[in-house]
Chains A and B, each alone.
Chain A
Amino acid sequence: MTNKPRVSAWQHYRILLGKDLRREFRTREMLTSMGIYTLLVLVIFGTALVQAAEKVDILQMSGGLFWALIVFTSLLGLNRSFAYEKEDGALEGVLLVPLDRSVIFLSKLTANLLFLLVIEVIAIPLFFVFFLSGLPLQPTLPLALGPLLVGTIGIAGIGTLLATITINTRGKDVLLALLFVPLIFPLLYACVSATTLAICASPALYDIYPAAMALAIGYDVVMILVSWLLYDFVVSA
């Protein structure tokens, strides 16, 4: 049997990523639902906090609020990112192709990351309008971008693996949340700490922020590496 010309892993990655982006820009299914969900959560949080504004320090809570928003929204997006892959066996069609299956993971991770970043670009200004308008902005605020980026990468990475694991299960929405939240807890803890410190310009910033970032980056590297290595087994099971 003669071997047909092989397509490189990089080409497969670009083709699969292009497919996800093309489909999303055509349907806007994930971005629309995640965007509306973000707005809803912001309104609900905002309404609750306006009534308690006299008693709570919103600045101290802002990191937690923001990450709660991101985690809820990403759960919705991650579920949808694989729903259409299962529809009419499209993923099986890709699995029949002679490619390194970890490339499917990397392309899907990138697509999910890009969609989450788009939502964050919309959510961050709204978050400031809802919760931080009128409050003094600290010079350390740009440091919040660090945990934001590292946390989003981690959520997209581990979420992509878990969404693949739960794709063929009944009650996949619930199962994804059940697996996702405990598994990303170390990342979430580090990112909430680092974000809050940066927003508040806390005196502990320069002590705790580097440690929190190191934990978040370490988590990303280990979990994405493990997910990448496990993906062939997971997607073939």
Chain B
Amino acid sequence: MSEQATIVATDLTKVFGARRALDRVGFELPAGAFLSIFGPNGAGKTTLLRILSTLARPTSGNAQVLGFDLKEKPGDLRAHIGLISHKPLLYLDLSAEENLLLAARLYGVADPYERVGELLATVELTARRHDVVRTFSRGMTQRLAIARALVHDPQLVFLDEPYSGLDPRAVQIFDELLHKVRQKSQDGKPRSFCMVSHDMDKGLALATHLLILERGKVVLFARKEDVNPGEFARLYLNSVGMGVA
């Protein structure tokens, strides 16, 4: 494993019954990179993200994430990763502040009140801090979900279709937030991202590295600058079944 690698995946395989959701997936992502993962529905993108974020176990193969062995040290790894999903991972009957305080205390954040106040300001929800999440719009909920994912200042952030269901204004706010948090984390280390997206333009704009999955297999993994845009578009459209015969 190279010294700077954020993720070193080796032959990751996940089998559900007779279906092979991931088939010997391997790649190496350097620190500070933004990986965009593309592929059609059922290609294994979310399964890959769930395995790398310790929410699922691989059937075979393994990965080193931030230097932690995924199978041996999942608990240690969890302290350093965050997940922003199309599901907000929040308790809808708790307030915005209560949700963030809950997460901050569970992660052992040194000064939870100060951190929560800072994050609520970042996601522009200070005025609604005491309102229960159930009363929030989709865009507001997603902004709070971002704050929750960043409460412990993770080194690696997983994003699973974060734009799903957002209106254009919410997308704009989300982009601005993403830009802010792409800057280095509090301890000065580069933050890395791993995003699953169906939006090719958005994924390409943000990415430093690209990965295309098709039927659980890696079709392409490369640095963005090494990829010919025309070739990428052809591979992507072929993988989602929209290629020209």
Contact = CB atoms under 8 A, between A and B. Distances in A.
* Interface SS of A by simple majority: helix
Contact of B91 (A84, A96, A236): A84
Given A19-B94, A26-B93, A88-B88, A97 B107 contact: yes
Contact of B89 (A6, A84, A92): A92
A97 B106 CA distance: 7
A120 to B, nearest CB: 25
Nearest to B189: A1
Interface stretch (B77-85, B176-184, B197-205, B212-220): B77-85
A7 interface: yes
A98 B87 contact: no
B102 interface: yes
B92 to A, nearest CB: 6
Contact of B107 (A26, A84, A98): A98
A1 B155 contact: yes
Interface residues of B, number: 40
A89 B89 contact: yes
Nearest to B158: A96
- Per CB-CB distance, the 6 closest pairs between chain A and chain B, nearest first, are A93-B89, A89-B87, A98-B78, A7-B108, A98-B79, A97-B106
Interface of B: 53-57, 66-68, 75-83, 85, 87-94, 98, 102-103, 105-108, 110, 132, 141, 148, 152, 155, 187
29 contacts: A1-B66, A1-B80, A4-B108, A4-B152, A7-B108, A15-B102, A15-B105, A19-B94, A23-B91, A23-B93, A26-B93, A84-B93, A87-B92, A89-B85, A89-B87, A92-B55, A92-B83, A93-B103, A95-B54, A95-B55, A96-B55, A96-B78, A96-B81, A97-B106, A98-B75, A98-B76, A98-B77, A98-B78, A236-B57
